[in-house]
Structure 1
Amino acid sequence: MKKTLKFVLGAIALFAAMSARAGGISDTGVNAYWGSDSHGYGDVIGGSTYDIQGATITRVGNVLTIAIATSFAGHAGMDANITQNGIGYGDLFLAQTWNPFGTDANHVNDNDNNGTLWSYGFALDNRYSNTGGSFTLYQLNGKTNDANVIDSEKFMSCSLGSACYYRNGQATAVNTSKYNTNVKNTGMTGNWTVTANKEIKFTLTLASTSDLLKYSSLAMHWGETCQNDVIEGQVSLVPVPGVLPLTGLGLVMLGLSRRRRRVQAA
């Protein structure tokens, strides 16, 4: 029984080390992504509440997790005097490779017309919930982002007639209209949560046939419905350092199990 347990534990450890992948994107400092058009406000428009600090993308086995650190977590519905429902959480977009427009560090002229063509989108069930909910994974098959997404302009009305500034031309939501044949529901759904430590976390169990399981890198885009701050970038899904010791443990346990078997056979 003990030999069997050791073998199982060793196999689990080895599998975990081989399948766990993670990477991070920073949205602070001189190399933070700005995108177009900030109207001269730089990285963040409208105050620090909209600030995004970074994101971590993790894929363990077939479970994909994306955690976004942002001061906006828990503030959906704010600025209702500017637009009807206030500002909400945007959908999240993914691609295998990040191709932003421009060579400057902040990509100040990059938008969804000249930058990365997003391949997948997480469409949120209720972008104004401050606790979380579910989302649906859509495959974006249109040749341009305009064929697949809804921009920030569609969410911002400046309803009281006063001047308001937000980041224009940024991918904000998946265009899930029944008339849009470019967007395909993959049938995969996940959960998103707003945590107490100012984090929005998306968790999705991928089907075994999903392209997202094959990617060795992932690019992402996320922002509020006003896109007052946007995070974009790419991560290489490298092995998680914390599980590397488990590889050695797994190999040792497998070796011991085999050694004992040989001794008993002799």
Structure 2
Amino acid sequence: MNETLLIALLSGVCLSFLLAPLGCYLLWQRMAFLGDTLSHSAILGIALSVLFHFPLYHIGTIIYLIGFVLLFDYFTAKKSLSNDTVLSLLSYGGMSFGLVILNLCGQDDTLNQILFGDLLSIDYQSLGVLAALALTVNIYLATFHKKLILYILDSDLAQQSGLNVKHVRVVFLLISATVIAVSIHWVGALIAPALLIIPCTAVFTNTLSPKETIIKALLFSLLSFPIGILGSFYLSVSIGPGIVCAFIIMLLTRWVSIKAFRLLPLRN
């Protein structure tokens, strides 16, 4: 097998473990739009890294997004504006200012990579970084799963039971920011949030427990990623959008199959 393709497939595995479980927690908190906001705002972080000649722009992006989520937490704690309003303002503002700065810096040619990434450019060192981050994030989610679920279900009850709600919320936001910053370096700012949310959306039902939902979302992502990568490679299309197309096709296939299966008894 082509070595570049093999690394891309292994990267898909790492990204599945990195994004699918985290996306479940975002969806349960009704914060699916946070992924879009972080990704779009990260464009400003990248632009500032380019403007000030920061040597590793993805590190600069992480630093920027950490500041971003702390600002978001401050505004939401004040409760002067709704979460959706704050996210919209920060998302559109970050993306617009980022694109203007990149344009002024003469970096128009890099926009395609920033927006859509390039999974085929990953090397073994980058693969190691992805694997280490995926392992770290999943250890965190497994360790604090019960606390996160309690916070998601009822933050007031969680506070009364002795849980430091602010600490749980801020740490989760910081981890989400780091994951998005690293992910967009390879899959792009427009693709990362889709890969974060689609797996959980595809498998979510009210009858599944949180752990069952996470496992099924992960399996969905692990199946969809190679289909998207291989399809994009052999059809010679952009790999990022190709992967999202595969995720959407798999989601629709699953929904249609479930509907058809439910109708079978009626035909008998």
Q: Classify the TM-score, shorter chain.
A: under 0.3
TM-score w.r.t. structure 2 length? 0.24
The structure with more strand, counted as a fraction of residues: 1
The structure with more helix, counted as a fraction of residues: 2
